[in-house]
Copies of this chain bind each other. A is one copy, B any other.
Amino acid sequence: MTEEKLPLRSENYSEWYNQVIQRTEMADYAPVRGCMVVRPYGWALWENIQQALDKRFKATGHQNAAFPLFIPMSFLEKEKEHVEGFSPELAVVTIGGGEKLEEPLVVRPTSETVIGYMYSKWIKSYRDLPVLINQWGNVVRWELRTRLFLRTLEFYWQEGHTAHATEQEAEEETRRMLDVYTDFAVNEAAVPVIPGMKSATEKFAGAARSYTIEAMMGDTKALQSGTSHNLGQNFARAFDIQYLDQNNALQYCWTTSWGLSTRFIGAIIMTHGDDQGLKLPPRLAPIQVVIVPIYKNDEERGKVIPVVEKVQQMLTEFRLKVDDRTEVTPGFKFNHWEMRGVPLRIEIGPKDVEKGSVALARRDIPGRDGKQFVSQEGLAAVVSNLLKDIQAAMLEKARAFRDANIHEPKDYAELNTIVQNGWALAHWCGSVDCEARVKEDTKATIRCIPLENGQGKGKCIVCGQPAEQKAYFAKSY
């Protein structure tokens, strides 16, 4: 019994991506076009992402709630930019309980409108502010070209929605949640994202200002991996979200929204994966350690298995799997768990039983360099440190790759070359025309105006006019 090899990542990135996901049983295509099934291995990763984020949301004062899946069509029409942005992508329920509905219902593509409606009911006074609510759920956007995790008709996400008394508080919240996303991406997923502001062209439909975390995938394309929007008073005015201030005067609220979705699983796969398959960061990996027993016959098996069980008992603090299948070889199991990206493999054979040792193999360092033989004594501490090392090394590797593929072009011609296989960081005057020209000439878009290293005077890389900010230009998913 052997497993077929994956297509090489270097040769066919797109096919590699699709096959990795299906072969590792992370996800599968559903019978409805463009919809996916997230299988247990993929969902376990999402649950770990959820926990890491949810802990941060609660630590910053947010509570979870659940708003309805269905939104009256008329709600979307209340915010002009919003309806223009989302109406081409809507799934619409027109029949309920066997009868044609008087007003069609939209399956939520995002929930600003219906949450805005509820906030206008709930918020009366400045004492009710801020309202800090998050929702974990599913949304639907009728996309034409879909791809597992990256772009599906239905996807899973969290959407935070907050209301504040002042513009400044809303901006602080927007930035705070961008920081939360950055911290999560870097420290949990080992994805070295670049936080920044979206250009007006790329911002959320209905927002005053959108922020994003942008990640570089293994093919150097960019992936927008989470966004945080300052909605100004746009939705507050559309839905009458008002409060009485300390002087008993009626004021409109300032609102924000922010979201991160199952798309982030795509970011993890494409940031870390290699020709062997997935490479999962230890802090989020559904299985952190796999134990593979090695034996040639029943007699050896009889000696090895009790030690495997003893070692398993020593490592209960980790998410651990023992692969004790008898119908496949150890070599098959090595490939199996490498493809699934398990950070650390422990091998235990007859010699280890004699010596009181185990063999450890790092997923992130292939071959002999990633292998070591250690004593069973004190193994938990060794494993703990090794998982930390792997986490740090994965971040470092991704950061080095990212930095090696970001260049500062000296002129427009060079920008054109750079974005064919990397990101360009260059001054931009802020005009929509210059932005559009780059897109037309190269298919690259402005990914963000970075929060760090984005200032300083210079000349626009496109038109040569004075510019006060830099932007990242790149092709993207």
Contacts and interface: CB of A to CB of B under 8 A. Distances in A.
Contact of A31 (B35, B114, B142, B153): B114
Interface string A143-175: 010000000011010000000000000000000
Contacts of A91: 70, 93, 95-97, 105
Interface in A36-79: 36-40, 42-44, 46-47, 63-72, 75
Contact of A40 (B70, B88, B133, B327): B133
A138 interface: yes
Nearest to A40: B63
Interface in A1-52: 28, 30-32, 35-40, 42-44, 46-47
A401 interface: no
Interface in A340-358: none
B90 A65 contact: no
Interface residues of A, number: 57
Nearest to A286: B63
Contact of A69 (B117, B127, B140): B140
Contacts of A303: none
Contacts of A421: none
A315 to B, nearest CB: 18
Nearest to A103: B32
B65 A40 contact: yes
A334 to B, nearest CB: 20
B92 A94 contact: yes
Nearest to A152: B68
A35 B93 CA distance: 14
Summarize A's interface: helix, strand, loop or mixed. mixed
For A46, A68, A87, which residue has the most chain B Cβ atoms within 10 angstroms? Answer: A68
A327 B246 CA distance: 13
A140 B108 CA distance: 14
A457 interface: no
Interface string A131-145: 001000110101010
Given A69-B140, A107-B107, A140-B69, A327 B127 contact: yes
A427 B89 CA distance: 57
Q: What is the count of identical protomers in the complex?
A: 2
A92 B96 contact: yes
B43 A63 contact: yes
Contacts of A138: 66, 69, 137-138
A30 B68 contact: yes
A98 interface: yes
B105 A32 contact: yes
A126 B340 CA distance: 23
B35 A64 contact: no
A28 to B, nearest CB: 7
Contact of A156 (B31, B66, B90, B94): B66
Given A66-B43, A68-B154, A98 B105 contact: no
A46 B327 CA distance: 43
A92 B93 contact: yes
Interface string A294-326: 000000000000000000000000000000000
Given A69-B154, A89-B97, A93-B93, A64 B44 contact: yes
A388 interface: no
A456 to B, nearest CB: 43
A118 interface: yes
Contact of A38 (B66, B117, B144): B66
A122 B40 CA distance: 12
Nearest to A69: B154
Nearest to A105: B32
Interface of A: 28, 30-32, 35-40, 42-44, 46-47, 63-72, 75, 87-98, 104-105, 107, 114, 117-118, 121-122, 127, 133, 137-138, 140, 142, 144, 153-154, 156, 327
26 contacts: A28-B122, A31-B75, A32-B71, A37-B66, A40-B63, A40-B65, A42-B65, A43-B64, A47-B64, A69-B107, A69-B138, A70-B91, A70-B140, A87-B98, A88-B97, A90-B96, A90-B97, A91-B95, A91-B97, A92-B93, A92-B96, A93-B94, A96-B142, A96-B153, A97-B142, A107-B107
The 10 closest A-B pairs by CB, nearest first: A97-B142, A40-B63, A92-B95, A35-B68, A38-B66, A30-B68, A96-B142, A94-B94, A43-B65, A32-B70
